[in-house]
């Protein structure tokens, strides 16, 4: 087992900025969990810049340490985790990029490894779900986001960062009896957005419900909803309040705190997480790595949860 670089010998700010100073994938025989970046943001509808998210999150992850005291796990000792670098995709064609992401995800998981992906915009969730569903069947998807991302189209485009979960539902990739959105908030185009989403089978834990009923109640609902299904976790960093994550393309007031978000992710230690992504980090709007640090810690907790059920 090869763990992160020893920061007592090499300063954290020196050397290659792999996620959490982990080894590269080509430095290990095989990995149980693979971190990969997808620098793609051609599907955004407002502020661009998430194509630079993977590098920013990796840079922000340098201070992460190997032992997670909250759950008493050293995730990088429990299983081999490695960084595969970035998937090179077309910045001009969404269709080409989606095919390239799916093919590379298939390749990286062909030996049974599980993938944790750094976006990029939320468009990338569709090819990642296609890849994961080939191996595990329809997935319980837990989608942390300010927005539903189940709209029909944007400017007649069927695949954008606002449509991945509608396309995935239509393709049978999602177990609609066990999936839910968490953190939804802000104005919608109309009441029909909610009824359309409900017809797809998603349950919703809205941000205001976490405030009114408490975090523990929300986590209980999460446990009950997904049960023992194979689970895919998709985190749009804008699920956090802009005070905790200003560096994103479509911010909405009234979001989760980073502390609440980390506790949500720790709940997945009780479930079978087969893959995950973290998307929509746009460093041009970040300050002092506030968003990047929050994203890096969310990823660390995702890896810990996945390692705990290794």
Q: How far is 275 from 285, CA to CA, in rounded Å?
A: 28
What is residue 245's predicted lDDT score, i.e. its pLDDT? 98
Low-confidence ranges of the chain (pLDDT < 50): none
Residue 57: the pLDDT is: 98
Return the ∠ at Cα 211 (arms to 209 and 215), rounded to 5°: 85
pLDDT at 193: 86
Please provide the size of the chain in residues: 310
Residue 310: the pLDDT is 65
How many angstroms from the chain centroid is the CA of residue 214?
23
The DSSP line for 161-218 is TTSHHHHHHHTT-B-TTS-EEEEE-S--S-THHHHHHHHTT-EEEEHHHHHHH-HHHH
Beta strand residue intervals within the chain, DSSP E: 33-38, 81-86, 114-119, 140-144, 180-184, 203-206, 230-236, 272-279
Candidates 123, 143, 155, 137; CA nearest to 274 is 137
Q: Which residue has the tokens 């994550």?
A: 245
Domains of the chain, earliest start first: 19-308 (3.40.800.10)
Collapsing DSSP to helix, strand or coil, 111 comes out as coil
Per-residue tokens: 215: 């975090």
Q: What is the pLDDT of residues 231-265, one digit of tens each?
A: 999 999 999 999 999 999 999 999 999 999 999 99
pLDDT single digits (tens) 39-78: 999 999 999 999 999 999 999 999 999 999 999 999 999 9
Please give the structure tokens belonging to residue 40: 């793609």
């Amino acid at each position: 087992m090869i763990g992160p670089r020893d920061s007592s010998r090499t300063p954290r700010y020196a050397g290659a900025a792999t996620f959490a100073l982990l080894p590269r994938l080509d430095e290990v025989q095989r990995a149980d969990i693979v971190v990969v970046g997808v620098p793609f943001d051609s599907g955004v509808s407002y502020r661009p810049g998430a194509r630079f998210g993977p590098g920013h999150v990796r840079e922000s992850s340098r201070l992460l340490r190997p032992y997670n005291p909250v759950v008493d796990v050293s995730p990088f000792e429990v299983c081999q985790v490695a960084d595969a670098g970035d998937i090179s995709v077309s910045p001009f064609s969404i269709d080409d990029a989606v095919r390239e992401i799916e093919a590379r995800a298939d390749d990286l998981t062909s030996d049974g490894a599980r993938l944790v992906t750094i976006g990029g915009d939320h468009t990338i969730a569709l090819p990642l779900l296609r890849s994961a569903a080939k191996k595990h069947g329809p997935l319980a998807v837990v989608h942390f986001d300010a927005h539903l991302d189940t709209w029909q189209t944007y400017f007649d485009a069927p695949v954008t960062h606002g449509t991945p979960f509608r396309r995935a539902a239509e393709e049978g990739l999602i177990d609609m009896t066990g999936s839910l959105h968490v953190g939804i908030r802000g104005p919608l185009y109309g009441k029909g957005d909610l009824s359309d989403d409900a017809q797809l089978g998603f349950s919703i834990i809205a941000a205001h419900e976490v405030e009114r009923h408490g975090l523990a109640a929300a986590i209980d609902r999460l446990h009950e909803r997904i049960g023992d299904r194979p689970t895919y976790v998709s985190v749009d960093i804008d699920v956090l309040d802009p005070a905790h994550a200003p560096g994103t393309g479509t911010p909405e007031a009234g979001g989760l705190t980073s502390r609440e978000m980390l506790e949500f992710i720790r709940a997945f230690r009780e479930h079978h997480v087969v893959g995950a992504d973290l998307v929509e980090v746009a460093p041009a709007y970040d300050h002092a790595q506030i968003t990047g640090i929050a994203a890096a810690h969310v990823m660390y907790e995702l890896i810990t949860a996945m390692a705990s059920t290794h």
